[in-house]
Structure 1
Amino acid sequence: MTPAQQMHVSLVAVPGSLAMPVAGLYEVLTAFPVVAEFHDEVPSSPPFAVEIVGSTPGTVTAGSGLPIAVERAVADVVHTDILIVPAMAVETGWTAGQHPELVAWMQRAHARGAVLCSACTGLGLLAETGLLDGLPATTHWAFGKAFHEVFPKVELHLDEVLVTAGEREEFVMSGGAASWQDLVLYLIGRFVSPVAAQAVAKFELLERHAEGQAPYLPFLPDTQHGDRVVSRQQDWLAENFSVARPVAEMTGRSGLSDRAFERRFKRATGLSPIAYVQQVRVDQAKRMLEQGDLPIDQISWAVGYEDAAAFRRLFKRIARVTPGTYRRKFSPAAPR
């Protein structure tokens, strides 16, 4: 494949970028000659021309302290086909306006037809362009609340690990820190071939998170909503989630009618009382699966479900994996 036929990929690096996704994306997108030695349908000529770009050429310091070499300033990148903003270190939310030259460059790249991508917290810089307003997106689940406060017009889907958006699917966003693997395999599958993506995944031992971010999501309910009646019931449920009729108990304790309590609870927490109970119980079941070897039927009983089959269905609906798969995935003592 000649240089003229290659797709140009710009990996954005700024102070605080994470070194692992920058290096991982770079190495996987340039690994085709090696992978081709083991797979006939993988092109031996690299289909991507990859370079690390930033505000100025030189070295920036990653969030971990490692140096990242920036090869070219974005002002000198007139054309790029794929633009990727990898994860950045974010401590207290997103501070807009730190890289106006990068935001303006991304807007110009989009106007010229580039595909704009983000991995993890890199979504913040991509969102500053305003191009994602009204569109679905994803990022690391822990970054979701802080992101929404700054960019309320972007529709976050934190249970998803990979989201595409735009009329020509020109926005591609991946979730947690390791989801750059899902992003790079998607790009290879889309712009080279699904066979090439599969071959690269096997060669590099990359893993797709087919179940999304749902198995990784802890339940972090809103308790700062200001409704003391609801917050008292939330506190009570945290200790009494396994009782037989928790919604009826909370309603009775609140002193409200059934309809009034449900309406008030949902307004405060964003969830109906029964959906909230289910989230609390599944979250507790996750902890028990991670930390011990109790049979799943006993865990079902311990969190409030006499019907173990119903518990398994609920668990899979919320976590997107079965309890057994969850235990194998996250328990340090689980057999491999």
Structure 2
Amino acid sequence: MVEDTPLHVCLVAVPGSLLLPIAGLYEVLTAFPVVAGFHEGVPSSPPFAVEIVGTAQTNVPAASGLPITIQRAVDRIERTDIIIVPTMAVEERWEAGRHPELVAWMQRMHAQGAMLCSACTGLGLLAETGLLDGRQATTHWAFGPGFRQAFPDVELRLDEVLVTAGHREEFAMSGGAASWQDLVLYLIGRFVSPVAAQAIAKFELLERHAEGQAPYLPFLPQTQHGDAMVRNMQNWLETNFAVASPVTEMTGRSGLSPRAFERRFKRATGLSPIGYVQQVRIDEAKRRLEQTDLPIDQISWEVGYEDAAAFRRLFKRIARVSPGIYRRKFATDRPA
């Protein structure tokens, strides 16, 4: 439980920030007096004092064009407890150096003990501080390839929806666009109480993504590796993934020994041949679960697994949910 003095929280806004995560974080972190009237486990006095901050006290355009009001400039903030960088519109690769004053300010605040957080693509600005080098982090899966190029020293965990790091767990990062909900519930549970976090979640209809980003994560294979032979095998596998022994078939087509082929394939793609085949097959199974009414056992057979039980185990290991749950979650053309 927090002390009587509220924790000071800064929501960082820049031109191109998304308005919804900022508004959502602000309103949930300040909702305690309302929710307290419905749940005795929620304190009536606000445990957080929240401000939207930026380089100047002005209005900046959100990615949608709607205005975001910056309530205080960071050069007027000498101390804070928690800094959150929410989602912002970015190019395919993070363009560093656009907000040096914010990066320097976050470094100073961290040195004074502040916790640094990000939601979705806000991770890029947090990573510019250099404080995440050698640590794990997460962001939106679509931002992953460009982020890795810009910040190779940060270990991305795109399968996770929430990652904490640091010896004090002074860094907390959430993944996809709606994962600001996971972040805000984590902060409430940590600094107020788990009971309050649960009550806020139920009152606001917030959803925790307990299975991480894995169910949402498409298979995005590495293809720009410069190995023509491996690329040909990848192309062949796109339409032949269901054959009985695809790894044996690819090895024979390569003209290499099994060990040499495996080393070369993994060096190019980052995955072993069998691991790559499994990803391709499960990705295709996801598509069929979403778009067809075929029985799961039939989908298992069509993507290359005669043993439906083994298919279900593999699917859950990769997607973190069973095929049946995945279908209920993502099947198209469902009535309201």
- Whether the 8 Å CA contact 2:163–2:174 is kept in 1: the answer is yes
Q: Name the CA shift for 1:112/1:300 in 2 (closer, same or farther; >3 Å).
A: same
Q: CA deviation at 1:335?
A: 7.3
Instruction: Please name the residue that 1:263 is paired with.
Output: 263
Letter in 2 for 1:291: Q
CA distance in 1, matches of 2:334, 2:323: 12
* TM-score (ref. length: structure 2): 0.98
Letter in 1 for 2:121: T
Q: CA deviation at 1:93?
A: 1.3
Secondary structure (helix, strand or coil) at the match of 1:173 reads strand
Q: Does 1:325 align with 2:325?
A: yes
Secondary structure (helix, strand or coil) at the match of 2:9 reads strand
- Whether the 8 Å CA contact 2:246–2:277 is kept in 1: the answer is yes
Letter in 1 for 2:20: M
CA distance in 2, matches of 1:57, 1:246: 60
- Whether the 8 Å CA contact 2:2–2:191 is kept in 1: the answer is no
CA distance in 2, matches of 1:87, 1:279: 28
Instruction: Please name the residue that 1:313 is paired with.
Output: 313
Instruction: Please name the residue that 2:50 is paired with.
Output: 50
Pairwise CA RMSD: 1.4
List per-residue Cα deviations over 1:30-58 (Å, max 9, x = no partner). Answer: 00011001001100111000010000001
- Whether the 8 Å CA contact 1:328–1:335 is kept in 2: the answer is no
CA distance in 2, matches of 1:230, 1:41: 58
List per-residue Cα deviations over 1:185-210 (Å, max 9, x = no partner). Answer: 00000000000000000000000000
Instruction: Please name the residue that 2:26 is paired with.
Output: 26
List per-residue Cα deviations over 1:124-157 (Å, max 9, x = no partner). Answer: 0000000000000000000011011111100100
- After the TM superposition, which segments of 4 or more aligned residues of structure 1 sit over 2 Å from their partners? 1-4, 332-336
Letter in 2 for 1:326: Y
- Counting aligned pairs with the same residue, the percent is 78
Superposed, which structure 2 residues align to 1:84-103 within 5 Å? 84-103=84-103
Secondary structure (helix, strand or coil) at the match of 1:293 reads coil
Instruction: Please name the residue that 1:150 is paired with.
Output: 150
CA distance in 1, matches of 2:37, 2:137: 37
CA distance in 2, matches of 1:175, 1:7: 24
Q: CA deviation at 1:3?
A: 10
Unaligned runs of 5+ in 1: none
Superposed, which structure 2 residues align to 1:1-336 within 5 Å? 5-334=5-334
CA distance in 1, matches of 2:77, 2:34: 28
Unaligned runs of 5+ in 2: none
Which stretch has the larger CA shift, 104-113 or 89-98?
A: 89-98
- Whether the 8 Å CA contact 1:54–1:73 is kept in 2: the answer is yes
CA distance in 2, matches of 1:113, 1:24: 25
Q: CA deviation at 1:332?
A: 2.4
Secondary structure (helix, strand or coil) at the match of 2:17 reads coil
In the alignment of these two chains, the number of paired residues is 336
Q: CA deviation at 1:59?
A: 0.3
Q: CA deviation at 1:224?
A: 1.3
Which stretch has the larger CA shift, 1-10 or 29-38?
A: 1-10
- Whether the 8 Å CA contact 2:6–2:48 is kept in 1: the answer is yes
